[in-house]
Structure 1
Amino acid sequence: MVIDLHNHTPLCNHAHGSIEMYVQKAIEKKIDVFGFSDHAPMHFDEAYRMSFLQMDAYEQEVLHVKEKYHDTIDVLLAYEVDFLKGYIDERVLSRRVDYFIGSVHFLDEWGFDNPTFIGEYQNKNIDEIWEGYFEAIEAMAKQNLFDIVGHLDLIKIFNFLPKKEIRTIATPAIKAIKKANMCIELNAAGFRKPIQEQYPSGSLMELIAEHDIPITFGSDAHALEHIGFCYDEIKSIATHYGYKKCAMFQQRERKMVNF
């Protein structure tokens, strides 16, 4: 099966193309399971996400295309939730969805993956940045709120890499993810960014496989041309590290399927 669980909509204000157009493109790409996981609302960085008042419309439209195209494709409903202390909102976590992706996009309210704020990398120690990021991933896992870890090593987006061994930095977070029974996505968006590789990197994929953590796939689409982006590449990477199955979800229940 072809699985793609990380995809956005225009409601996040930085994606283009209608929900129905995304589904039609996914069908064209022969995707079997297509998940909408748009940025959940929160009272921070509100320009890059839907509002709380838009949640019902988002869910209704996704459920509409799910029913309309049910004979051709399995459409899933989800949110990508930013893990940021003080901003996690029960109004999001109480929604009836198929899964939640937990992601870290901010360190002490610094949007480290936003090109507008790239200069901040010059003001900090790169090892400390990486350590702080994976400490946030570890803390997120320990909350036991989410089903999937989004783009595990997003902190590498601009190719600022630590001097310390990445596996050493990431191991406590990986152990916490394993204990929380979460899965980790292979996210193709990194191929579209300066780092020019998937999330997670090969060294982290090795660590993930060693801990027998389940995986899934996501193109992180913000435009029609992103749907199914580099799927063959991330599938090949998963196979290289010994994976034969990936996760899909229905009403927060994980199911492992062959890919």
Structure 2
Amino acid sequence: MIVDLHNHTPLCNHAQGTIDEYVEAAIKAKTAVFGFSDHAPMDFDPKYRMSFEQMKKYEQDVLSTKAKYQDKIEILLGYEVDYLKGHMDQRVLNADVDYLIGSVHFIEGWGFDNPEFIGKWHEQDIDEIWQKYFDTIEEMANSKLFDIVGHLDLIKVFKFMPKGDISQMAKNALLAIKKADMVLEINVAGFRKDVKESYPSLSLLKDAYNLDIPITFSSDAHKPEQVSLFNQEVVKMAKAVGYTECAYFNKRQKKFLRF
């Protein structure tokens, strides 16, 4: 990937490898711009994220790595922030970073993408849950707190698919993303999950293209060997839809590179 903005570190408690190992893998993959956006701290679900006390270490580690590799690759600093009302913290939202990824991992407090809680799927109306998910994405976009939409259709992770029209379910969310001038990431992590495809799907990516919503690319790596995995598949998909450039950020300012 020429740009790869969504990657993690061991500080989130569920990633492996050193920061240097991720960067070396990105250099090997000929990535021009590589971003760390580890799970930001919040007062909910602390098991899967850094603590507030670790923010300074995280930022210093990424910035020192940026200086170390400045002649080989551009390193960016970001956070992946859970959009969860009542739990977002100004220390994160006002952090001095290049970008913030807004992600939805919870519906009414339920971690729907966490294998620990997969049993709850069997208690739900699938179509209703999908709509609630996209409604929350719409709320997240309307907040205008974030630069990038994380894994747009993560709700499909375990392949509990709705009967209804997904494009119709996501319509208002995409319109809100467009209005908020956000970037949509093409995230390859879905290839490593049950659904075996990127986030978003080809169909939703076409809908985004028709709305002139810009894209970026993301490995969502939790191990160095996942960096740029499935790169060819997502670049090919983006080009087939019509995209020719992808976004990255410097101090919250959007820039573009052709791919």
- Please tell me the TM-score bracket, short chain as reference: over 0.9
For residues 252 and 74 of structure 2, the distance between their equivalents in structure 1, rounded to whole angstroms, comes to 15
Q: In 1, Cα distance between the equivalents of 2:10 and 2:255?
A: 29
Normalising by the residue count of structure 1, what TM-score does the alignment of the two structures yield? 0.99
In structure 2, how many angstroms separate the alpha carbons of the residues matched to 1:57 and 1:75?
A: 16
Aligned mates of 2:19, 2:256 — CA distance in 1: 26
Secondary structure of the corresponding residue to residue 243 of structure 2? coil
Query: What corresponds to 1:190 in structure 2?
Result: 190
Using the alignment, how far apart are the partners of 1:142 and 1:44 within structure 2? 22
Shift of 1:29: 1.5
Corresponding residue for 1:102? 102
SS of 1:8's equivalent in the other structure is: coil
How far, CA to CA, are the matches of 1:256 and 1:26 in structure 2? 19
How far apart are 1:225 and its partner, in Å? 0.9
What SS does the corresponding residue of 1:70 show, helix, strand or coil? coil
Please state how far the C-alpha of 1:171 moved relative to its aligned partner.
0.1
Aligned to 1:119: 119
Q: In structure 1, how many angstroms separate the alpha carbons of the residues matched to 2:61 and 2:183?
A: 27
Q: How far did 1:253 drift?
A: 0.2
Aligned pairs for 1:102-181 within 5 A: 102-181=102-181
Alpha-carbon distance between aligned partners in 2 of 1:167 and 1:25, rounded to the nearest angstrom: 35
Look up the equivalent residue of 1:34 and give its one-letter code.
F
Give runs of ≥4 in structure 1 deviating > 3 Å: none
Distance 2:228 2:27 in 1: 10
Secondary structure in structure 1 of the residue aligned to 2:97:
coil
Query: Structure 1: where are the runs of 5+ without partners?
Result: none
1:37 is paired with a residue of what secondary structure?
strand
Task: Quote the residue 1:54 is aligned against.
Answer: 54
1: CA distance between counterparts of 2:165 and 2:37? Answer: 32
The two structures have a TM-score, normalised by structure 2, of 0.99
Counterpart mapping for 1:84-103 below 5 A:
84-103=84-103
SS at match of 2:35: strand
Distance in 2 between the 1:221 and 1:174 partners?
Answer: 25
- Correspondences of 1:221-236 after superposition (within 5 Å): 221-236=221-236
CA-based RMSD = 0.7
Please tell me whether residue 73 in structure 1 is matched to residue 43 in structure 2: no
Structure 2 gap ranges (5+): none
* 2:235 is the counterpart of 1:204: no
User: Is structure 2 residue 244 aligned with structure 1 residue 239?
Assistant: no
Amino acid at match of 1:114: N
Identity of aligned residues (%): 58
For residues 180-217 of structure 1, what are the alpha-carbon distances to aligned partners after superposition, in whole Å with 9 as ceiling and x for unaligned? 00010000000000000000001101110110100000
Alignment correspondent of 2:41: 41
> Could you tell me how far 1:92 is from its partner in structure 2?
0.3
1:213 matched to 2:213? The reply is: yes
- What residue is the counterpart of 1:9 in the other structure? 9
Partner Cα distance (1:7, 1:103) in 2: 13
Q: Deviations over 1:139-162 (max 9, x none)?
A: 000000000000000000000111
Cα distance in 2 between the residues matched to 1:231 and 1:78: 21
2:28 counterpart letter in structure 1: E
Q: How many residues align?
A: 259
Name the CA distance, whole Å, in 1 between partners of 2:126 and 2:20: 42
Q: Distance in 1 between matches of 2:162 and 2:50?
A: 34
Q: Structure 1, residues 126-150: CA drift from partner, whole Å, max 9, x if none?
A: 0000000000000000000000000
* Distance in 1 (alpha carbons) for counterparts of 2:34 and 2:220: 11
